[in-house]
Structure 1
Amino acid sequence: MGTWDIGPFDNDTAADFSYRIDEAPAERKAAVLLAAFRDVTETGEDYLDSDLAVEAVAAAALVAAQCPGGAPVTTSYGPKQPIPPLPAALRPAAVAALDRVLGKDSELLELWEESDGAAWKAGTEALRAVLASADA
C-alpha cells in the first residue's frame, strides 16, 4: 500500500476508490459507499484485508463530512464530483465498519501499529465519533 499521510484518502487504494465513486452516477454513490462498509462487516471473524479497510475508512469520511461536526473532504485525492446528500441510514453501517477496522484481526490497524500510527488511529476514532453522535 502506497501511503503518504494519515488522512482517509492519503493512500493509493483510497485514491483509486475515489475514482470509483466519481464514476458512479449520483443516484448510485450511496450504494458504492454502503458496499465498502459491507465488504468490511461481512468478513465476520476472518482477517480483514487492509485494502477493504482503507476503502471503508474513506467511505466513512465522506459520510461523516455530511454530519454535524464532520470535516469536509478537501484533499485532491478524494472524489472530484460532488457527493449528493447521503441517507442517514449509512451512518450505522459506517460505524460498524470502523469498529471492524479498529478491532482485532484488522491488517490496516496492524500496519499502522507497526509504525507511529497513533495519529491515524485518533483520526479514525474521531470519524467514528462524529458518525455515532449524528446517529444518536
Structure 2
Amino acid sequence: MGASGAGPFENDDALDFLDELEESEPDVRRKRVESALDSVVRASGYIEAPAMSQAVAAAVLVAACDDLESVVGERNVPWWVDDEPIDVDEELEELATQALHRALQSEDNELWELWADGDGGERFATKLTHYLDALGD
C-alpha cells in the first residue's frame, strides 16, 4: 500500500529517499540532498513526480536542519535531523528555495499535476510556502 499524504515526507518516493539518507553516513547525506535538489533545479523540461517528491523532501530537510521548529507537526521527520543535522549554508538554502519554487510551477511538473487533479493543489502549495518562509524566502 502506497503513501500519498500532503506532507513532504508522506509519499513513497520521499520515504524511499529518507531511507537512503538514513542508511548513509552523515557526511554523505548532504551530497545526496544537494543532488536531489540540483536535479530539479537544473531540469529544463518535464519533471516526473518521483524526482520532484525527493527534491521537496530534500528542501524540507534543509529547512529542518537549519530550524527544527519548521517541521513541528510533520510526520516521518528523520531522527538524524535533530541528532546529526546536515550543515546548512546559504548556498544549500538557495538551492532548496529554488527547488521549492520549481515544485510550485504548475507547468511541466507531474507532482503538481497530481495534487491539482485531486483538488489538493492549495493544500500542497500551503505546505511548500511554509517551507519557503522557513528558508527565508
- TM-score by length of structure 1 reads 0.85
What is the aligned partner in structure 2 of residue 126 from structure 1?
130
In the TM superposition, structure 1's runs of 4+ consecutive aligned residues that sit over 4 Å from their partners are: none
What is the aligned partner in structure 2 of residue 84 from structure 1?
85
Deviation at 1:7, TM superposition (A): 0.6
What is the aligned partner in structure 2 of residue 49 from structure 1?
48
Distance 1:80 1:15 in 2: 13
What is the aligned partner in structure 2 of residue 2 from structure 1?
2
Aligned length: 131
Distance 1:105 1:39 in 2: 14
2:65–2:88 CA contact under 8 A, matched in 1: no
Deviation at 1:80, TM superposition (A): 4.3
Instruction: Identify if the C-alpha distance between structure 1 residues 13 and 33 changes in structure 2 by more than 3 Å, giving closer, same or farther.
Output: same
Q: Aligned-residue CA RMSD in angstroms?
A: 2.1
Gaps of 5+ in 1: none
1:95–1:128 CA contact under 8 A, matched in 2: yes
1:38 aligns with 2:42: no
Distance 1:15 1:71 in 2: 16
- TM-score by length of structure 2 reads 0.84
Identity of aligned residues (%): 31
